[in-house]
Amino acid sequence: MSENTIIKNFYKILESKGYKGTIITASRIPDLQNSVKKFNDKKLLDPEFYNEYKKYFEFEPKTDFGEVKSLFMVAVPQPQYEIVFNWKNREVPLIIPPTYLHGRALINETKAFLTDLLKPSGYSIEFAHLPQKTLAVRVGLAEYGRNNITYVRGMGSFHRLITFYSDFPYEQDDWQEVRMMDLCKECSACVRKCPTGAIPNDRFLLRVEKCLTYHNEHPADIPFPDWIDPSWHNSLVGCMHCQKVCPANKKVINWIEPGPTFSEEETKLLVNGTTAENLSEETRRKVKEHDLTNYLFAYPRNLGVILDREQ
Task: Kindly tell me if the per-residue pLDDT of 107 is higher than 70.
Answer: yes
Spatial distance between the Cα atoms of 15 and 275, rounded to a whole number of angstroms: 40
Position 120 scores a pLDDT of 96
Residues contacting 53, CB < 8 A, separation 6+:
none
20 DSSP β-pair partners: 75
In the structure, what pLDDT confidence band is assigned to residue 310 with cuts at 50, 70 and 90? low
In the structure, what pLDDT confidence band is assigned to residue 311 with cuts at 50, 70 and 90? low
163 close to 29: Cβ distance less than 8 angstroms: no
- Residue range(s) defining the domain that contains residue 267: 3-310
Amino acid at 144: Y
Q: Model confidence over 198-214: pLDDT tens digits?
A: 999 888 889 999 999 99
User: Does this model's pTM top 0.85?
Assistant: yes
Cα 201-204-208 angle, rounded to 5 deg: 90
What is the mean predicted confidence (pLDDT) over 225-239? 94
- What is the DSSP annotation of 158-192? -EEEEEEEE-------------B-GGGGG--HHHH
Backbone angles phi, psi at 120, to 5 degrees: -60, -25
Q: How far is CA 34 from CA 54, 57, 175, 196, 204, in A?
A: 14, 10, 14, 29, 18
Q: How far is CA 167 from CA 61, 67, 129, 301, in A?
A: 12, 6, 16, 44
What is the mean predicted confidence (pLDDT) over 117-126? 97
What is the mean predicted confidence (pLDDT) over 286-292? 93
Task: Kindly tell me if the per-residue pLDDT of 48 is higher than 90.
Answer: no
Spatial distance between the Cα atoms of 264 and 87, rounded to a whole number of angstroms: 5
Tally of domains within the chain = 1
Q: Model confidence over 178-204: pLDDT tens digits?
A: 888 999 999 999 999 999 999 998 888
The rounded Cα 223 to chain-centroid distance in angstroms is 23
Q: How far is CA 108 from CA 127, 212, 308, in A?
A: 9, 30, 38
Spatial distance between the Cα atoms of 88 and 80, rounded to a whole number of angstroms: 25
Position 38 scores a pLDDT of 80
Backbone angles phi, psi at 92, to 5 degrees: -120, 100
Q: Model confidence over 49-90: pLDDT tens digits?
A: 888 888 888 899 989 999 999 999 999 999 999 999 999 999
What is the total residue count of the chain?
A: 311
Task: Kindly tell me if the per-residue pLDDT of 42 is higher than 80.
Answer: no
Task: Kindly tell me if the per-residue pLDDT of 44 is higher than 80.
Answer: no
Position 220 scores a pLDDT of 87
70 close to 169: Cβ distance less than 8 angstroms: yes
Edge to edge, the sheet with strand 125-127 lists: 20-25, 70-77, 159-166, 125-127
Instruction: Tell me what the pLDDT averaged over the chain comes to.
Output: 93
Spatial distance between the Cα atoms of 297 and 311, rounded to a whole number of angstroms: 23
Helices of type H across 172-298: 189-193, 212-215, 241-245, 264-271, 281-289
Strands 256-262 and 80-87: parallel
